């Protein structure tokens, strides 16, 4: 029986972790961490995560123009067209002890043009922490495709496997000058102890024309009475940003302790797809010498580049002044990595691939902790594809749960004949409630 944990949403990187706990010792690994080849694509992502804990009605994120709106500063005037994604991750608890209302999360899309606009929902998922995806205790690595701990883990697992949840139609038509709801769902809390719940949502979309998007918060007396479209439209026109606000971020150029802040804006890039090779002009990745290893940074960020000087964080095209300067953590961004492994030796070599969560640092090196602290820094599904030692194609899924400073177990082990090549691919969507950075490690036994 899996142990149910108290509901919580762990600290996403709003604070810096530069000190080890008294009971943990640093375990240094002598291996190189290289910048990840390639770069983010340019697909925009509507990124709604601030305030994470919603305690008041209002606008969470609006890319509408400010024309005819009561609070001009609440609207960022950013139209979407063609491919774009929507990410929303918010938590509810009663603003006061005796408040029995239910918070609804609404995502509204408006067509400002004179022609109908069609929006294809290519993939989509939205889950509550309770009861859809509670934070349960799982081992560090479990094989299986339908395993999750927390709503962010479950949503990203669905998208990784190409799913569209049944609550989403394949397509919606928005008439000229009108709006429609993409999402209109509750975050119920009053049957829970403590009364705390969260909802994670992600959609991959294609729009035939220009549209504006907003995520909104509204209270209703019950959880089975969603607000109407006109109620949402009225709130969008007349409300201000939801308060209280999250902690304001530290400016990127500041020194010392850093508050990254939470994201409310449009981030640029939904995928980092690349081949890991010896150099841009070489189609192969030469394996390490026997007993050695090398790594690539994953989701590296300001203050946590592991000596690579590479910040992979998605930039923000528009944002509110009191929210994150960039999309630290890269929540929902897909890493799609191909490793064309090459064995240059005259004998067969066995190679391992792993993902780990080393101690966050800017200086070169890979440091782990022993014993491990209690903070979970990564929980999500990873897909691996390769040909096994019998040259049979394998597609496997592993759900990983890693503490801060945890060295990950091997995801793939392949034996490569002398002077031969084997292709391995690793895919995952960076899950909400994870804390960067991570590394992808190639080691030779």
Low-confidence ranges of the chain (pLDDT < 70): 1-22
CA 163 from centre of chain? 17
Cα atoms in the Cβ-side hemisphere of radius 13 Å centred on 341: 31
- Per DSSP, what are the bridge partners of residue 149? none
The predicted structure's pLDDT at residue 194: 94
Averaged confidence pLDDT in the chain = 93
Q: What is the pLDDT of residue 22?
A: 58
How far is C-alpha 176 from the geometric centre of its chain's CA atoms?
33
- Relative to beta strand 285-286, strand 334-343 is parallel
Q: Tens digit of pLDDT for each residue in 307-316?
A: 999 999 999 9
**pLDDT tens digit sequence for 365-409:** 999 999 999 999 999 999 999 998 888 999 999 999 999 999 999
Q: How many CB atoms lie within 10 A of CB 139?
A: 10
Among candidate residues 384, 390, 392, the one with its CA nearest the CA of residue 424? 384
CB contact at 8 A, 85 and 203: yes
* 3-state SS, residue 427: strand
**pLDDT at 145 (0 to 100):** 96
* pLDDT for res 15: 32
Give pLDDT, residue 433.
Answer: 86
pLDDT of residue 237: 98
Q: Is the CB of residue 270 less than 8 Å from the CB of residue 45?
A: yes
pTM for the full predicted model: 0.93
Angstrom CA distances, 158 to 24, 106, 142, 428, stand at 35, 21, 16, 11
């Amino acid at each position: 029986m899996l142990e149910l944990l108290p509901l919580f949403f762990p600290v996403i990187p709003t604070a810096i972790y530069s000190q080890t706990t008294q009971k943990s010792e640093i375990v240094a690994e002598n291996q190189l961490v290289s910048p990840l080849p390639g770069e983010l694509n340019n697909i925009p992502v509507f990124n709604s995560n601030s305030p994470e804990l919603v305690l008041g009605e209002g606008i969470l994120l609006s890319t509408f123009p400010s024309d005819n709106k009561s609070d001009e500063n609440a609207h960022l005037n950013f139209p979407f067209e063609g491919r774009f994604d929507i990410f929303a991750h918010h938590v509810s608890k009663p603003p006061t002890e005796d408040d029995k209302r239910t918070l609804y999360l609404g995502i509204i899309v408006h067509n400002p043009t004179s022609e109908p606009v069609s929006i294809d929902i290519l993939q989509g998922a939205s889950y509550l922490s309770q009861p859809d995806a509670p934070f349960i205790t799982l081992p560090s690595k479990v094989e299986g495709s339908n395993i999750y701990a927390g709503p962010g883990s479950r949503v990203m697992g669905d998208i990784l496997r190409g799913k569209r949840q049944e609550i989403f139609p394949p397509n919606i038509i928005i008439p000229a000058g009108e709006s429609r709801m993409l999402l209109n769902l509750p975050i119920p809390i009053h049957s829970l102890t403590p009364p705390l719940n969260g909802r994670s949502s992600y959609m991959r979309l294609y729009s035939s024309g220009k549209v504006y998007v907003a995520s909104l918060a509204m209270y209703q007396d019950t959880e089975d009475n969603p607000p109407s479209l006109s109620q949402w439209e009225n709130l969008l026109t007349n409300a201000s940003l939801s308060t209280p606000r999250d902690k304001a971020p530290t400016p990127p150029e500041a020194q010392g302790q850093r508050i990254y802040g939470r994201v409310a804006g449009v981030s640029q890039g939904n995928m980092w797809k690349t081949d890991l090779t010896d150099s841009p002009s070489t189609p192969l990745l030469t394996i390490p010498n026997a007993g050695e290893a090398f790594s690539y940074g994953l989701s590296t960020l300001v203050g946590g580049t592991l000596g690579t000087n590479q910040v992979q964080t998605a930039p923000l095209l528009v944002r509110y002044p009191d929210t994150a300067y960039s999309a630290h953590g890269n929540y929902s961004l897909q890493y799609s990595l191909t490793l064309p492994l090459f064995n240059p030796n005259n004998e067969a070599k066995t190679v391992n691939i792993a993902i780990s969560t080393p101690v966050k640092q800017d200086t070169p090196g890979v440091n782990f902790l022993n014993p491990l602290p209690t903070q979970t820094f990564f929980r999500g599904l990873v897909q691996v594809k390769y040909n096994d030692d019998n040259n049979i194609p394998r597609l496997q899924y592993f759900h990983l749960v890693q503490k801060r400073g945890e060295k990950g177990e091997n995801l793939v082990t392949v034996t490569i004949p002398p002077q031969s090549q084997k292709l391995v691919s690793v895919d995952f969507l960076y899950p909400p409630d994870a804390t960067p950075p991570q590394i992808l490690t190639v080691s030779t036994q």
